[in-house]
Structure 1
């Protein structure tokens, strides 16, 4: 009995010591959270200026610890303004404004970030990336002789109802008979129409019209290829192709799919600024939607290179030069300040097309 009373405290002390050691071992063996993946990856160059910066963790984290104080992006010593969100083990930093072109940025996830058990990440995660884009004002796309026409097509120009065209139109290699719905009056080397403030030209008219049109079409194709081939885009897949409601700054934009404009947009910049939109799919503007210019931006400096169809919805208003590999359709009452330059057909329906000054 006395032995039992003597051993009991020792046994209890041993159990406490063993448990404590086991807990210490658990703490030692539990791996601390890390950042497994980032976007952009470290030392990446040519990053789009509209990029969202992300960090993916090795386990679920305490979202309340992931803030603008613990997820920081800097350009040099200057903090980038933005918002931070966390979902599905991934934290995102969305800059308030587009990043600057050709700059080195540093992103940091600090040890203030903790997992669900309250453990801080193993160490601060720091990575760098460099933005792409144009460091100087873009050069305009040289339209060559195609700039002599407000509408230029290769296969047909079709009009329904009464349209109003300010500027010359040209068609080649197709003949005059493929210009329909404009009630043309033939003259020597050109035709006129009450719907055209200018002249209409086609490949079967008197010299030098055929030669002039051949040059214009060749120049149109060259201009298309120039616009499509411009390198170092400022913005890649901007708004995933749905740019409705956006204000578009000067620069080079690139999409690998179609672009839609379901609500009105603003193109804002100075009179010398240039915009080039590279669109691998279609361009679609919804009914009644307007493109508005601000700050002195000029339609003659805005180039929409469209590999697919460009379609402007009923009563919509468009600004800029369209270089389409496929076709351009202005639906009923649509208006356009710019040029419709298509490698197939231009279709009008009670539309208004005015050349830019």
Structure 2
């Protein structure tokens, strides 16, 4: 019998708060290490003042000054660190980060006005020494989630009212840096992305929102009915490994491979006020055609995973019509990404599925979740032939997803989606979107589907692979039928007899000669 081992692994990448800086290399532009200032959504040198119902999602710090006013009515969903050693160290690290950003090369010199333009990863300055944004600035990572954007000014950064910075192609706010030589002013009702590193002060006018950080080295941070959300990078996902398929003799019967799916949902997805208890629920389903035994579920950071329900007939088999539910409870003290791995066996084969989930600590915005199940129309083929892949995409999170897409590394084109019930191009939490792709297979094939969707400026990604086994055609029969074997046997006897007679004659002649 053939032996197969295959994995279907799910990953979720979220551009949300980890409590550490991530160093990456993208061409000649490297990310700016913020050090301990990475932990702050707002950090100032002299004072912090607020008017209105500002919300700061992350820590708020001040050093060496000590005057913070306007909280309340403002809200800080994080720790306030005022004139203490932690804030002092953060200012020291901010200075180092500012110097690092200012020294980045090579530099592309562009016009002062950034509005209405699209910029790729790189380091930029302007001939005037200032930058402004009127309208929309688009930052395009070209599919690289580690792409870094650095904008350097000798003087000011001023954005117009209702202006915006849009991230596309996998760009992350955590990797955008604005090194400002004097002061930054973000216009009213604008949407700004990136980390402001100002030598002097930073002012957010009424209704301006920032995904990133507002960091001022020497001066004040002034707020007015704003939302500031600290954004930090998450590691991008890696596609699942290709299964190892060991061939067996052609006479062995091709087994039907099992297929398992695990979905992981944390509750809550965000702990804006700090550490807290999180309950992980795991839904394990049999998406194949054969029942599985020896089902296991393990989490790399939550130990006590227990089966809650689902084995309806109590036969200890994950049947094709069952979903087993598991649960694990833990306490998180920082933003955490952990994985769950589910395995099941059938026909001497093992199916594996791994899913990832992130819970953010100190940030109010919940990260998105997406789930993909890929299923072939046939798990085995007696010879080459067509297979149709069905991709089922769901939203197990709490926010609708935009920019949803599905791609496959070996099958194209993919058709779909169907299932957008309200035609709003958003994958709502109540919807299931379906995609299909058809291809011809002549050999054992493993291919990977990838689904992604965005919400709150964050992106969720899930992978799903499928295995189809193709039995090679048998070699032509090179033997003989029963009648042919009988005739050959008698012919062999006749030939052998003639040989013996000839040999005897030769020996007798030799004897006479001697």
Q: Which has the higher contact order (CA 8 A, sep 6+)?
A: 2
Cα drift, residue 337 of structure 1:
0.1
Aligned residues: 204
> Which residue does 1:7 correspond to in 2?
none
Answer 1 or 2: which has greater strand percent: 2
Among 272, 291, 297, which residue is 2:146 paired with? 272
> Which residue does 2:122 correspond to in 1?
251
> Which residue does 1:199 correspond to in 2?
79
Among 76, 81, 106, which residue is 1:232 paired with? 106
Cα drift, residue 254 of structure 1:
1.7
Matched, 1:284 2:158: yes
Q: Is the 8 A contact 2:50 2:74 kept in 1?
A: no
Following the alignment from structure 1 to structure 2, what is the Cα–Cα distance between the partners of residues 309 and 255?
16
Q: SS of 1:222's equivalent?
A: helix
Among 165, 168, 171, which residue is 2:56 paired with? 165
Following the alignment from structure 1 to structure 2, what is the Cα–Cα distance between the partners of residues 163 and 194?
5
Q: Is the 8 A contact 1:137 1:274 kept in 2?
A: no
Matched, 1:356 2:255: no
Q: SS of 2:115's equivalent?
A: coil
> Which stretches of structure 1, 4 residues or longer, exceed 4 Å deviation after superposition?
none
Q: Is the 8 A contact 1:308 1:324 kept in 2?
A: yes
Q: Is the 8 A contact 1:137 1:273 kept in 2?
A: no
Answer 1 or 2: which has greater helix percent: 1
Q: SS of 2:97's equivalent?
A: helix
Cα drift, residue 159 of structure 1:
0.3
Following the alignment from structure 2 to structure 1, what is the Cα–Cα distance between the partners of residues 26 and 200?
32
Following the alignment from structure 2 to structure 1, what is the Cα–Cα distance between the partners of residues 132 and 27?
28
Alignment of 1:133-148 (within 5 A): 136-148=27-39
Q: Is the 8 A contact 1:290 1:318 kept in 2?
A: yes
Following the alignment from structure 2 to structure 1, what is the Cα–Cα distance between the partners of residues 74 and 208?
19
Kindly provide the CA deviation profile for residues 83-108 of structure 1, in whole angstroms up to 9, marking residues without a partner as x: xxxxxxxxxxxxxxxxxxxxxxxxxx
Gaps of 5+ in 2: 1-24, 233-514
Following the alignment from structure 1 to structure 2, what is the Cα–Cα distance between the partners of residues 144 and 135?
20
> Which residue does 2:452 correspond to in 1?
none
> Which residue does 2:42 correspond to in 1?
151
Cα drift, residue 255 of structure 1:
2.3
Following the alignment from structure 1 to structure 2, what is the Cα–Cα distance between the partners of residues 288 and 255?
23
Q: Is the 8 A contact 1:300 1:338 kept in 2?
A: yes
Cα drift, residue 313 of structure 1:
0.7
Query: Computing the radius of gyration over CA atoms, which structure comes out larger, 1 or 2?
Result: 2
Among 300, 315, 338, which residue is 2:212 paired with? 338
Cα drift, residue 137 of structure 1:
4.9
> Which residue does 2:68 correspond to in 1?
179
Among 207, 218, 241, which residue is 2:92 paired with? 218
Following the alignment from structure 1 to structure 2, what is the Cα–Cα distance between the partners of residues 162 and 136?
41
Following the alignment from structure 2 to structure 1, what is the Cα–Cα distance between the partners of residues 130 and 58?
29
Following the alignment from structure 1 to structure 2, what is the Cα–Cα distance between the partners of residues 275 and 296?
12
RMSD: 1.5
Q: Is the 8 A contact 1:309 1:328 kept in 2?
A: yes
